[in-house]
Structure 1
Amino acid sequence: MTNKLAILVNLGTPESLETGAIRSWLREFLSDPRVVTLPRVLWLPILYLFVLTFRPGKVREKYAEIWREDSPLRLLTDSLADSVGNRLQAEGWTVRVAMTYGAPSLDDTLADATSFERTVVLPLYPQYSGSTTGAVYDRVGRILARTNVLPNLQLINAYYTEPGYARALADSLRDADPGAHTLFSFHGIPVAQGAKEPYEAQCRETASAVAAAAGLAEADWDIAFQSRFGPAPWLQPYTEDVLTALGKAGRPVRVICPGFAVECLETLEEIDMTYRATYLEAGGTRFTYVPALNDDAAHADLIATLVRNGGA
């Protein structure tokens, strides 16, 4: 039996709720040119003088709303990896978790990759964006550039077209207030960045595929983009604006976030708390957040299939 390694990569999370830990994580995250594309000479003074001075306390308050014994993103990514590992163990796979920012790092997780016959690196981002999957490629490339003996390594670019992905999302909608208007909310990116990559088209294709699999009429769903950061225009419509309009119209709504593999700050706090309040304050009557696929069996099956195919 071959000895194979699968690394499931997520964005990352602060190590704790301590303000210093949050500041350290934000420093690493927001220093990446893939995340903030402004020239370094402009951005780094803003980052160090203002963002890292004032933002950690605000971010801490948000994390405190969702934190359990650890960050939900870490707990659920670990649980998903365990479930995938159980499915693949008999086939010779070892399944690990790595984070692009924070721990466990890709450097540590890939350290012994040459001892495996094959390695698959799977960023847990169904749609490709340079700020997510591209950042993983950058990290892996820098690690390999320092390595004399290279592993037999496969990186998976995107998996939004995998049939099991749309099917699992559609299944999660079936019992979630089926009479409500469906809003597909994806993480936004700057318009200037979106013009250079396929992210927006892949998000729209995903929403259409899930809507079709769930049997939704075109009038019964919308797509929007969340998590805008900074003054530049991002992909539109903005989730906040769509929810405000639906609230004013008194339409029940259910929100699903197909781009997030597991729960995180953007789903649990931004969508299910902040934007829920936005919708209700606008006059909305019924708001349902549809959970991410997380460590559900269908999701573990999907990821296991991707690993198998990537390592074939």
Structure 2
Amino acid sequence: MENKQQGVLLVNLGTPDAATPQAVKAFLAEFLHDHRVVDMTRWLWCPLLHGVILPVRSPKVAKLYQSVWMDEGSPLMVYSKRQKECLESALGLPVELGMTYGNPSLRAGIEALQARGVEDMLVLPLYPQYSGTTTAAVNDGLLKAFKGHAHLPQYRFLTDYHDHPLYIKALAARVRQQWQASGQGDYLLCSYHGIPKRYADNGDIYPQHCETTTQLLAQELELNDDQIGHTYQSRFGREEWLQPYTDKTLESLPSKGIKKLDVITPAFASDCLETLEEISEECQEVFIRAGGEAFHYIPCLNDSDEHIKLLGELVRAQFVM
């Protein structure tokens, strides 16, 4: 039996094409229309989204993107491209990018792989912890992308890698690099992107995955419960989200004697607006204003050697190479 050409589709959430209100509005419209992200009844949600949220938020979010935009483009896209190139070089297999929202689309990524002769595809969402709002949304997008294709490739789908030993070691390496550069802080805070608590109550296993990642990282770094913890950031709207909240925790830590803080964001494979602006800038201001003395943001895994090694191992475990 002839071996099929193997290839990898790396998937992340996506990013606006430019740091302009128009580009941000187009991206947010696609993102916030997904029922996996916001599950409100459409006849209630769509008028609110288009009549209030997008007109008000798009210019504000565009300014935030402008503050973190890199020479080559959006940070998430810049690092995603570097990950693709490094992984392809490490594996010797075709690797392409596909974004759940925005460009390049999932369909574009699939077609790019097929144009390179790929018939056996691993879809690798860059979400270490599973959530219906992210990982399942990728699967939904895949089914839409395949619709109308006369010939479907053989494909497999990786749902998570929240407890993979190389993932934990890669996170630990990032922390140790920070400690070596600036000294160890009083506390290591793991800040994860939040989801509405209702989603978890209805069966989303995301919080359990986050808790496991934090526990394994604590073991790897030999930290006790007084030296490490985790919170949830980026909440939106009025309903309750997973707690404890990152910003509220930062307000309380200095009063508990924690003056020097290290913060890592394990749920993000690439630095982006939520890490470079929300955590590194906004949250730092919250902590310092509350009496903190030193705040060190630890970069995401991005295109680090340890991250590429992890991604390579995830692929090799799925393919016979």
The farther-off stretch of 71-80 and 111-120 is: 111-120
Deviation at residue 52 of structure 1 after TM alignment: 1.2
Deviation at residue 112 of structure 1 after TM alignment: 5.7
Q: State the TM-score, normalizing by the size of structure 1.
A: 0.96
Q: Does the Cα contact within 8 Å between 1:113 and 1:151 map onto a contact in 2?
A: no
Q: Which runs of 5+ in 2 are unaligned?
A: none
Deviation at residue 145 of structure 1 after TM alignment: 3.2
Alignment partner, residue 191 of structure 2: 185
The answer as to 2:224 corresponding to 1:222 is no
Alignment partner, residue 36 of structure 1: 38
Question: How far does the alpha carbon of each residue in 1:285-310 deviate from its partner, in whole angstroms, 9 at most, with x for none?
Answer: 11111111110001001111111222
Whole-angstrom distance in 1 between the partners of 2:11 and 2:227? 34
Alignment partner, residue 95 of structure 2: 95
SS at match of 1:231: coil
Deviation at residue 265 of structure 1 after TM alignment: 0.5
Whole-angstrom distance in 2 between the partners of 1:153 and 1:94? 14
Alignment partner, residue 286 of structure 2: 278
The answer as to 2:200 corresponding to 1:197 is no
- Which residue identity does 1:238 align to in structure 2? Y
Deviation at residue 170 of structure 1 after TM alignment: 1.1
Alignment partner, residue 292 of structure 1: 300
SS at match of 1:157: coil
Whole-angstrom distance in 1 between the partners of 2:70 and 2:209? 33
Deviation at residue 250 of structure 1 after TM alignment: 4.5
Q: State the TM-score, normalizing by the size of structure 2.
A: 0.93
The answer as to 2:115 corresponding to 1:109 is no
Output the aligned Cα RMSD.
Answer: 1.3
Moved over 3 A (4+): 112-115
SS at match of 1:111: helix
- Which residue identity does 1:172 align to in structure 2? R
SS at match of 1:55: helix
Whole-angstrom distance in 2 between the partners of 1:106 and 1:250? 47
- Aligned pair partner of 2:143 in 136, 141, 144: 141
Alignment partner, residue 158 of structure 2: 156
1:44-123 mapped onto 2 (5 Å cutoff): 44-69=46-71, 70-89=73-92, 93-111=93-111, 115-123=117-125
Q: Which runs of 5+ in 1 are unaligned?
A: none
Alignment partner, residue 242 of structure 1: 249
- Which residue identity does 1:77 align to in structure 2? S
The farther-off stretch of 160-169 and 172-181 is: 172-181
Deviation at residue 2 of structure 1 after TM alignment: 4.9
Whole-angstrom distance in 2 between the partners of 1:19 and 1:55? 9
Length, aligned pairs only: 309
Whole-angstrom distance in 2 between the partners of 1:284 and 1:8? 38
- Which residue identity does 1:74 align to in structure 2? M
Question: How far does the alpha carbon of each residue in 1:118-143 deviate from its partner, in whole angstroms, 9 at most, with x for none?
Answer: 10110000000011111100011122
Deviation at residue 113 of structure 1 after TM alignment: 5.0
Whole-angstrom distance in 2 between the partners of 1:221 and 1:6? 35
Question: How far does the alpha carbon of each residue in 1:195-235 deviate from its partner, in whole angstroms, 9 at most, with x for none?
Answer: 22110000000000011101111211111000001101000
Q: Does the Cα contact within 8 Å between 1:4 and 1:94 map onto a contact in 2?
A: yes
Whole-angstrom distance in 2 between the partners of 1:38 and 1:283? 39
